[in-house]
Amino acid sequence: MRLLALAATVGVAALSAACGANGQDAAPPAGAPLETRPANGAAQQPAFPGQTRAPGVRTETAMAHRVVASGLEHPWGLALLPDGRWLVTERPGRLRLITADGAVGEPVAGLPAVDARGQGGLLDVAVGPTFGADRLIYWSYAEPREGGNATSVARGRLSDDGTRVEAVQVIFRALPVYDGDKHFGSSLAFDGAGHLFITLGERSDAPMRPQAQDLGSHMGKTIRINADGSVPRDNPFVGRAGALPEIWSLGHRNVQGVAIAPNGDVWTVEHGTRGGDEINLDRAGLNYGWPEVAYGIEYRGGAINGGVTAREGIEQPVYYWDPVIAPGGMTFYDGAMFPGWRGNLLIAGLKEKHIARLVLDGGRVVGEERLMTGLGERVRDIAVAPDGAVWAVTDEQNGKLVRLAASQGGYRSARGASLPELNPAAVR
């Protein structure tokens, strides 16, 4: 058995020119963009002001992160149970329960086999909207199938003692099957009506890219189903010849984050190539462009599809990064610990090893901050606890469950001096 250690590491970033007093990057001068590195798509221009390189903002609340548990092997998904324990997936195929104090349980029994190659394996996990009555949990995974693999979603009853899942049902299987090891997606989120949104990648390889535009394929799509796997009657492509009825939207590359806004809007975040990570307001029936329209350049260099960044009938991203942050999961902040963050998007950053906080105003990004920069690990998924603290898992061989919270001493200035009070609006 692998050692799963409870860690008591507390990370508080030191005061320096590179990092602010609260463990987040210091904000640039007022109105200046947070990102200053050269863009890969140097000749590309945003479609509207503020679509990229938003002004830097800074949270004045003193905060610190604490490693609650370690020894997790490439954890991927994170979901909170009503009793305060966390469900955490590990990509090789294990699901564990972890207490808020860091006690790590044995792997939950009863999950189906996963194809844990490359980016594949056990992916996201979600607590069902009727968990209090039926104890159903949901998870996505790369399922081994004849001829290759594809993303699937299953559900099962978490036993009363939390040691196993029972009555497991596969409620969605993405098609077609493909023998590859990249771009499985996949993030899960329930809306207020109990619909389950599933995000999928287009499987990365050049022959698969066009399937993001093919309504006869699930690849490169956002999916919307009912909790039992059936198709909602009002899905946008129900009844259209040649279209798969589970599809909600198309033209995505590799979507690994989905979040439902307080007003019910669906937001997704996806990986670009060298440049072109993007946030989308993901609406029914719309086309988000990949691979016909994209920001950034190919990994090998050179333009993507001639460098086209806009086309009639193609939705523009609300926001994009170039260079990329390699986004993982995301969530809307609605807690009380950081009142100035309410309604902000929090996005896990893998490549840049931070949490991105995006300030939204009227559906546009008006500010960006980098949080938890002092941890120095790939942040894979994030969630907000009832007390308003932010929890995250890091995608590492020695992966960690981390809590980011306000620290003692209240608000602090850039020099670290305590301030008695601050208008919460200033936190934005």
Taking only the tens place, the pLDDT of each residue in 187-237 is 999 999 999 999 999 999 999 999 999 999 999 999 999 999 999 999 999
pLDDT value at residue 222: 98
What mean pLDDT do residues 135-147 have? 98
Can you tell me the distance from the alpha carbon of 294 to that of 380, in angstroms, rounded to the nearest whole number? Answer: 24
DSSP string, 73-84: SSEEEEEE-TTS
Q: What is the pLDDT of residue 417?
A: 29
pLDDT of residue 17: 27
Beta bridge partners of 178: 149
d(C-alpha 359, C-alpha 342), whole Å: 9
> What are the residue numbers of the active site?
183
Residue 9 has what pLDDT?
Answer: 38
- Structure tokens that stand for 291 in this block: 């691979």
Please tell me the pTM assigned to this model: 0.91
Work out the pLDDT band at 29, boundaries 50, 70, 90: confident
- Please determine, for residue 132, whether its predicted confidence score (pLDDT) is greater than 60: yes
Q: Is 194 helix (H, G, I), strand (E, B) or coil?
A: coil
Q: What are the structure tokens assigned to 266, written together?
A: 């669906």
Average pLDDT over residues 89-109: 98
Res. 322: pLDDT tops 70: yes
Residue 408 has a pLDDT of 73
With a cut of 60, say whether residue 253 has pLDDT above it.
Answer: yes
The reported pLDDT for the residue numbered 287 is: 98
Q: Is 308 exposed, middle or buried (0-12, 13-18, 19+ CB in 10 A)?
A: middle
The pLDDT of 414-423, averaged and rounded, is 28
Share the mean pLDDT of the chain.
Answer: 91
Identify the pLDDT of residue 10.
39
Given a contact cutoff of 8 angstroms between Cβ atoms, the answer to whether 342 and 320 are in contact is no
How much of the chain, in percent, has pLDDT values that exceed 90?
Answer: 88
Instruction: Provide the pLDDT for residue 2.
Output: 37
Give pLDDT, residue 409. Answer: 58
DSSP single-letter state for residue 39: P
State the pLDDT at residue 396.
98
pLDDT at residue 421 in the model:
28
Q: What average pLDDT score do residues 351-361 get?
A: 97
Q: What is the pLDDT of residues 42-73, one digit of tens each?
A: 999 999 999 999 999 999 999 999 999 999 99
Cβ neighbors of 353 (< 8 A, separation 6 or more) are 373, 375, 376, 377, 378, 379
What local confidence, expressed as pLDDT, does residue 425 receive? 29
Higher pLDDT among residues 374 and 419, named by residue = 374
pLDDT in tens, 259-314: 999 999 999 999 999 999 999 999 999 999 999 999 999 999 999 999 999 999 99
Identify the band that residue 28 occupies on the pLDDT scale cut at 50, 70 and 90.
confident
The pLDDT score that the predictor gives to residue 413 is 33
Task: Answer yes or no: is pLDDT of 135 > 80.
Answer: yes
- Here the tokens at position 354 are 């931070």
